[in-house]
Chain A
Amino acid sequence: MDVLYFAWVRERIGLPREKVDADVATVMDLVEVLRAREDRYDAAFSDLSALRVAVDQQLADFDAPLAGVREVAFFPPMTGG
């Protein structure tokens, strides 16, 4: 699946998007896989209360299932308007 990062999450991890092939059931499983990779990922995901997630471009919870999902995005709370 494609994993996208926005705003300071993108800056902290150091890239806007990447392909991740992992056998994960939920968003939380994906977070754990990413955190285990490198310190920059671990730092970006250290406080999940500061993050929001979208699954196939719809806001979702961290326990959302990922079966059949093509795109997951992580970002801070939105500041539009």
Chain B
Amino acid sequence: MRIAVQEGPFDLGAEADAFARGRCVSGAIVTFTGVVRDVAGGLKAMEIEHYPGMTETALTEIATEAERRWALEDCLIIHRHGTLAPGEMIMMVATAALHRKDAFEAAEYLMDYLKSRAPFWKREITGDGAEWVASRDEDEAALTRW
């Protein structure tokens, strides 16, 4: 398991390659990457605040629970904070399992819990000013399926 909370960018290709390479037990590797989107147009930047200390603890607990629920050989979470431009990658998760069902489900579980149980807060900066991104009821509801 590797957990990384960082301000700087990560290299998706290098991270995915390093995670997948040399595995003999796992037949399935799933990766997911979240990108700063600008649906309405006019987004200048996305600021991500976090709670140093608790963030790492929460992510480790979420990953540990995923490894307990599914037959994972390994998992990876990288999450950025600070100021990001539209199109930049915010975060990625990767899971390695014997079979793809476990790898996909565990990756979805990691994403669902990252959304509303890891102490990150997003703020969108546009020409009109700055606004905190509100949490979505769907994200909270998504946890009930696990």
Known contacts A79-B133, A81-B34; A7 and B91 CB within 8 A of each other: no
Interface assignment of B44: CB less than 8 Å from any CB of chain A? no
Binary CB contact string for chain B from 10 to 53 against chain A (1 if under 8 A, 0 otherwise): 00000000000000000000000010000000000000010101
Tell whether, in the assembled complex, residue B118 and residue A78 are in contact, meaning their CB atoms are under 8 Å apart: yes
Known contacts A57-B51, A77-B135; A7 and B116 CB within 8 A of each other: no
Tell whether, in the assembled complex, residue A75 and residue B119 are in contact, meaning their CB atoms are under 8 Å apart: yes
Q: Which residue of A lies closest to B34 (CB)?
A: A81
Tell whether, in the assembled complex, residue A57 and residue B54 are in contact, meaning their CB atoms are under 8 Å apart: yes
Q: How far is the CA of A57 from the CA of B51 in the complex (A)?
A: 9
Tell whether, in the assembled complex, residue A77 and residue B57 are in contact, meaning their CB atoms are under 8 Å apart: no
Binary CB contact string for chain A from 12 to 49 against chain B (1 if under 8 A, 0 otherwise): 00000000000000000000000000000000000000
A76: which of B57, B117, B118, B135 is its contact (CB, 8 Å)? B135
Q: What is B's interface to A at a CB cutoff of 8 Å?
A: 34, 49, 51, 53-54, 57-58, 79, 90-91, 111, 114-123, 132-135, 140
6 closest residue pairs by CB, A with B:
A80-B120, A77-B135, A57-B54, A7-B121, A81-B115, A80-B118
* 28 A-B pairs in the complex with CB atoms less than 8 angstroms apart: A6-B119, A6-B121, A7-B121, A7-B123, A54-B51, A57-B51, A57-B53, A59-B58, A75-B51, A76-B132, A77-B116, A77-B135, A78-B118, A78-B121, A79-B120, A79-B121, A79-B132, A79-B133, A79-B134, A79-B135, A80-B79, A80-B115, A80-B116, A80-B120, A80-B122, A81-B34, A81-B90, A81-B120
Given contacts A57-B51, A78-B116, 17 further A-B contacts (CB under 8 A): A7-B49, A54-B51, A58-B54, A59-B58, A73-B54, A76-B132, A76-B135, A77-B116, A78-B117, A79-B116, A79-B122, A79-B133, A80-B119, A81-B34, A81-B91, A81-B111, A81-B114
Q: What is A's interface to B at a CB cutoff of 8 Å?
A: 4, 6-8, 54, 57-59, 73, 75-81
